[in-house]
Amino acid sequence: MLHSVRARLTLWYTAILALVLVIFGAVSYVLLAREIRAETDASLADTAHEFAAAFDPAEHTRGRDALLDFRYSDREILVLSPRAEVVMASKSRIGTVERKRIEAFVRAGGRGLHSIPGGEEGDGVRIIATPIDVLGTHYTVVVARALSEQADRLESAAQAVFFAIPVALLVAAAGGYLLARKSLGPVTVMSLKARQIGAETLDERIEIGNERDELGFLAVTLNGLLERLQGSFESQRRFMADASHELRTPIAIIQGEADVALGRRDRSAEDYRESIEVMQRAARKLTRIVQNLFLLARGDAGRYPMSMSRFYLGEIVADCVRGMRSVAQSRGVTITCSTAEDMVIVADEELIHRLVLNLVENAVKFTPEGGKVHVSLASQGGSYAIRVADTGHGIPASEQERIFERFYRGDRILPTNAGGAGLGLPIARWIAEVHGGELRLDHSGAEGSEFVAVLPNGCSEDLVASG
Ligand code: ADP
């Protein structure tokens, strides 16, 4: 039962309300008691005053007449002689014990308001003792009121309060429970809906009641989460499908070539060599794809072990260009490079090498015979900009956004069979970003394309410190 928020809410609410009501009841009781006592005292004083004023010895030769005029159902008047004996009393219901105590009080010179404790059964009386002179004799008028009456009033007030509190609590608890149930109802509906949503039904959404209340906000948040989950699920799925598709081709080549080589007995050593070379190329491609996939997977998981060091960026750039020179030459592409020597960077040397190589490889690959590729390195503020420009066919505007997506390859038919798996640019961009930089296509058109990678040199110091 207490595992339900509704029940807990109701319980807390009722408990707090009970506490408030009890405090309120207790304070009211104390105030009421004080009020009743003050009222009693005031009325006793009034009666004593009126009696004293009305007691005219000329008219009332017999004081009893005065007493007859002051017949109250709730209070009594006693007139005590100077020796403190009751000489006159209204029809008295005061017990003898109290009467004796009143006499003792007056005898002891007591004046004003006083509470006389009762005997064994009574609650006692509240009195006011006022002196009056009757024909030169000092009498004392005592007006008394039974305290039991005060106690009765208080008791009925207490009964009313203590009967009302449980009733109020019951009504409030029931109302609170219904209200909590009604307000939390959508949470149950949302939970049931969320439970139904699985990997196959990630396109479903939770119904949003009022967008502006907390539960609506929760539904919107959950829907946002589902949206992101769906997006990453779909891209994972696409990634898996594309990866297996890419792996299938070299595997099929190896398989086919092996079948052919082993299928015929009368093959020459030359034929076997050729087959093995084909398999070697396919295996190299396979290795590269698997390495790239592994790199991206570790990059995605944020678990790539960066090994930072301080080196000259110009050397790396020149190294990549040198490495590509023979390939470029074989394709009739001229490759040039302009770098400065003193550009020190703190970064993962292997990754930066791969970034530059991917860009230079692409530039050479997508530039037709007779074209040019130029790689330059410049310092701008706290960063270095590596620019790789070519005079290739350029990238159509519709593809420019997509070339950085994984496994995306342009439609262009390559002059040679040098097509990659569409992972070169995504990896290069990841490398730039993991170093706190960026990689973008600066411009591309009929005259060629230019990619620019911006790498910060200063912030790399932090990477070293944290690494
Ligand atoms: P891959 O080179 O393996 O195809 P990339 O991710 O490196 O994959 O490149 C994706 C696509 O971007 C290429 O297929 C190509 O269409 C386009 N591209 C990349 N670099 C260039 C370039 N320098 N000139 C023209 N197109 C390019």
pLDDT digits (tens, 9 = 90+) for 223-251: 999 999 998 888 788 888 888 888 898 89
- pLDDT for position 417: 46
pLDDT at 466: 41
| Site to substitute for ligand 1 among 366, 439, 442, 451, most atoms within 8 A of C-beta | 366
**What's the gap in Å between 401 CA and the centre of ligand 1?**
12
402 C-alpha vs ligand 1 centroid, how far in Å?
10
- b/e map 38-60, b = 16+ CB within 10 Å: eebeebbeebbeebbeebeeeeb
Question: Which atom, in ligand 1's list, is nearest to the CA of 358?
Answer: 7
- Return the residue whose CA atom lies nearest to atom 7 of ligand 1: 424
Taking the centre of ligand 1 as the mean of its atom positions, its distance from the CA of residue 225, in whole angstroms, is: 33
Of residues 124, 121, 132, the one with CA closest to residue 102: 124
Distance 403 CA to ligand 1 centre (A): 6
| Predicted local distance difference test score (pLDDT) of residue 416 | 46
Q: Which pair of tokens denotes residue 81?
A: 């002689």
In terms of DSSP bridges, do strands 438-445 and 448-456 run parallel, antiparallel, or are they unpaired? Answer: antiparallel
Which of 425, 431, 441 to probe ligand 1 with, by most ligand atoms within 8 A of CB? 425
Q: Give the H or E element holding residue 101.
A: helix 96-107
Long-range contacts of 427-434 (CB under 8 A, 24+ apart): 427/292, 427/295, 427/296, 427/354, 427/355, 427/358, 428/354, 428/355, 428/358, 428/359, 428/453, 429/404, 430/296, 430/299, 431/348, 431/351, 431/352, 431/354, 431/355, 432/355, 434/299, 434/304, 434/306, 434/351
Give residues (CB < 6 A) around ligand 1. 362-363, 366, 390, 392, 395, 403, 408-410, 412, 419-426, 449
CA-proximal residue: ligand 1, atom 8 (nearest) = 422
CA of 51 relative to ligand 1 center, distance in Å: 117
Closest CA to 350 of 385, 307, 295, 315: 307
The confidence score (pLDDT) of residue 359 equals 96
> Of all atoms in ligand 1, which is nearest to the CA of residue 390?
23
Supply 273's token pair: 């060599």
Contact by Cβ (8 Å): 279, 311: no
Length of the chain: 467
Residue 214: other Cβ atoms inside 10 A = 10
Separation of CA 408 and ligand 1 centre (Å)? 8
| Number of the ligand 1 atom closest to the C-alpha atom of 392 | 24
Q: Whose CA is nearest to atom 15 of ligand 1?
A: 410
Residues of the chain with pLDDT under 50: 60, 415-417, 459-467
Cα of 107 vs centre of ligand 1, distance in Å, is 121
d(CA 182, CA 8): 15
Question: Regarding beta strands 112-116 and 86-89, do their DSSP bridges make them parallel or antiparallel, or are they unpaired?
Answer: unpaired
Looking at residue 373, what is its pLDDT?
96
Q: How far apart are CA 129 and CA 144, in angstroms?
A: 9
pLDDT at 19: 94
Residue ID of nearest Cα to ligand 1 atom 11: 409
Of 83, 165, 152, 94, nearest in space to 126 by CA: 94
Nearest CA owner, ligand 1 atom 2? 420
CA of 361 to the centre of ligand 1 (A): 9
Q: What is the pLDDT of residue 346?
A: 93
The Cα–Cα gap between 19 and 165 comes to: 10
Residue 61: Cβ within 10 Å count: 10
**pLDDT value of residue 67:** 61
Question: Which residues touch 133 (CB under 8 Å, ≥6 apart)?
Answer: 139
C-alpha span between 416 and 62 (Å, rounded): 144
H or E stretch covering 187: helix 147-196
Range list of β-strands (E), 72-136: 76-80, 86-89, 112-116, 125-134
Q: Which residue's C-alpha comes closest to atom 21 of ligand 1?
A: 362
Query: From the CA of 409, how far away is ligand 1's center (Å)?
Result: 6
Question: Among the residues of 301-341, which ranges form H helices?
Answer: 313-330
Residues with Cβ < 8 Å from 320, sequence gap 6 or more? Answer: 353, 356, 357, 360, 375
- Hey, whose CA ends up nearest to atom 13 of ligand 1? 409
Indicate the SS3 state at residue 333.
coil
Question: For ligand 1, what atom is nearest to the CA of residue 423?
Answer: 6
Determine the distance from the C-alpha atom of residue 31 to the mean position of all C-alpha atoms in its chain, rounded to a whole number. 45
**What single DSSP character describes residue 421?**
-
Mutation probe of ligand 1 site: the residue of 386, 403, 411, 412 with most atoms within 8 A of C-beta: 403
